[in-house]
């Protein structure tokens, strides 16, 4: 295939450094991710290489120009996320930035990757959504942002956040204090995320009134959860019986989001509630399974590499076990 060449000019009034990033980090990231050669001099950007990739880079710079004109500077991480959206073709490159889930004290919460955007869209369109994926992909945080937004818009009357209380190598009985005090550390991540999205005083007031409830999964038994946005976190630590119990709590005008990471189970020697749930419910209407991947990790970039290293180690170990079995 014959190579293609184009030359782009940074629009007048836009600082090229906003387009190319600090220290040309955007330019370097771009060249590592596309099959094209990109050279920037002054306000001119020359692109050559595979015709499809050259067109992709041109669309990327159209997006970068719009961002720079609005006073925003792309980062190296933004490059990979933007290219993923452009390659997919399902969304416009600006769709992630424009999809504001919640604003709080000048800080905006929005999906940052294509996988997160699909997850958010699934929550909006489905009554029950499973968000499955590794640590750092924003499964719980995005669900809670949508839950708080729904509560603020009066789409639901209450917000319920729950998770199974399972010891990660420790025993609840040896912790000091009352049962409530023992359980509190397990609920703390949910409190932290909630206080990141709402004023502490307002949250405490809503919790006293029962509008916001944070409770262990065991407290859900026998209840019907109506007019509520319910988030079940750490669902990989549920049993199949607990998962069925929770799902059948669904009431009128309610939305359930179940998040989990199958690689971080604390249930030892027992089958988890997420193990077969997609086989059981995969074809049920209004139930959606959204799978987030390593590319959707939005914590420190090292988190993604850690997840990848653990996955590679587990795959190699399984392969060795398989080879030993075959050699017998």
Query: Residue 171: what pLDDT?
Result: 47
Percentage of the residues of the chain whose pLDDT score is greater than 70: 89
The band of 170, judged by pLDDT with boundaries at 50, 70 and 90, is: very low
The band of 185, judged by pLDDT with boundaries at 50, 70 and 90, is: confident
Tokens of 140: 């719980």
pLDDT at 2 over 80: no
pLDDT at 179 over 60: no
Q: Give the whole-angstrom CA distance, residue 200 versus residue 161.
A: 16
**Which domains are delineated in the chain?**
4-97 (3.30.1370.10), 100-297 (3.40.50.300)
Query: Residue 168: what pLDDT?
Result: 42
Query: Residue 85: what pLDDT?
Result: 80
Query: Residue 307: what pLDDT?
Result: 72
Query: Residue 220: what pLDDT?
Result: 92
| Sequence-distant (≥ 6) Cβ neighbours of residue 141 within 8 angstroms | 109, 193
Tally of CA atoms within 13 A in the half-sphere of 134 that contains its CB = 16
Query: Residue 257: what pLDDT?
Result: 98
Q: Give the whole-angstrom CA distance, residue 290 versus residue 249.
A: 21
Q: Is beta strand 212-216 parallel, antiparallel or unpaired with respect to 44-49?
A: unpaired
Most confident option among 53-62, 146-155, 271-280, 314-323: 146-155
> Whole-prediction pTM value?
0.76
Least confident piece of the model among 91-95, 250-254, 291-295: 91-95
The residue whose two tokens read 């690689």 is: 263
Tokens of 79: 């490059």
pLDDT at 141 over 80: yes
55 within 8 A of 107, measured Cβ to Cβ: no
pLDDT at 82 over 80: yes
List Cα–Cα distances, 303 to 117, 134, 291, 295, 328, in angstroms.
20, 10, 18, 11, 38
Q: Give the whole-angstrom CA distance, residue 277 versus residue 205.
A: 36
pLDDT at 90 over 70: no
- Residue 272 burial (C-beta neighbours within 10 Å; 0-12, 13-18, 19+): buried
Among left, alpha and beta (phi > 0; psi -120 to 50; other), residue 138 is: left
Average pLDDT over residues 306-328: 79
- Tens digit of pLDDT for each residue in 227-242? 999 999 999 999 999 9
From 162, 157, 128, 121, select the one nearest 142 (Cα to Cα).
Answer: 121
């Amino acid at each position: 295939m014959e190579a293609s060449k184009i030359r782009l000019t940074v629009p007048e009034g836009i600082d090229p450094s906003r387009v190319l990033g600090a220290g040309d980090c955007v330019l370097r990231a771009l060249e590592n991710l596309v099959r094209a050669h990109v050279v920037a001099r002054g306000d001119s950007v020359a692109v050559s290489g595979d015709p499809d990739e050259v067109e992709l880079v041109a669309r990327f710079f159209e997006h970068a120009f719009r961002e720079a004109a609005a006073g925003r500077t792309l980062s190296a991480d933004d490059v990979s996320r933007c290219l993923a959206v452009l390659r997919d073709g399902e969304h416009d490159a600006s769709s992630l930035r424009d999809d504001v889930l919640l604003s709080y004290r000048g800080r905006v919460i929005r999906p940052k990757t294509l996988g997160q955007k699909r997850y958010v869209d699934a929550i909006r369109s489905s009554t029950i959504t499973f968000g499955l994926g590794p640590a750092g992909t924003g499964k719980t945080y995005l669900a809670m942002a949508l839950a708080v937004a729904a509560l603020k818009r009066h789409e639901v009357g209450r917000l319920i956040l729950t998770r199974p209380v399972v010891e990660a190598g420790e025993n609840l009985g040896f912790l000091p204090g009352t049962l409530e005090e023992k359980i509190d550390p397990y609920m703390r991540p949910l409190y932290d995320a909630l206080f990141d999205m709402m004023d502490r005083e307002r949250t405490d007031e809503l919790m006293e009134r029962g509008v916001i409830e944070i409770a262990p999964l065991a407290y859900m038994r026998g209840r019907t959860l109506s007019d509520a946005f319910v988030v079940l976190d750490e669902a990989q630590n549920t049993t199949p019986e607990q998962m069925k119990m929770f799902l059948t709590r669904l009431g009128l005008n309610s939305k359930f989001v179940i998040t989990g990471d199958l690689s971080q189970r604390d249930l030892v020697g027992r089958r988890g509630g997420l193990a077969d749930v997609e086989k059981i419910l995969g074809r049920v209407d209004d139930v959606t399974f959204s799978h987030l991947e390593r590319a959707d990790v939005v914590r420190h970039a090292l988190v993604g590499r850690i997840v990848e290293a653990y996955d590679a180690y587990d795959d190699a170990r399984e392969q060795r076990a398989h080879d030993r079995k075959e050699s017998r």
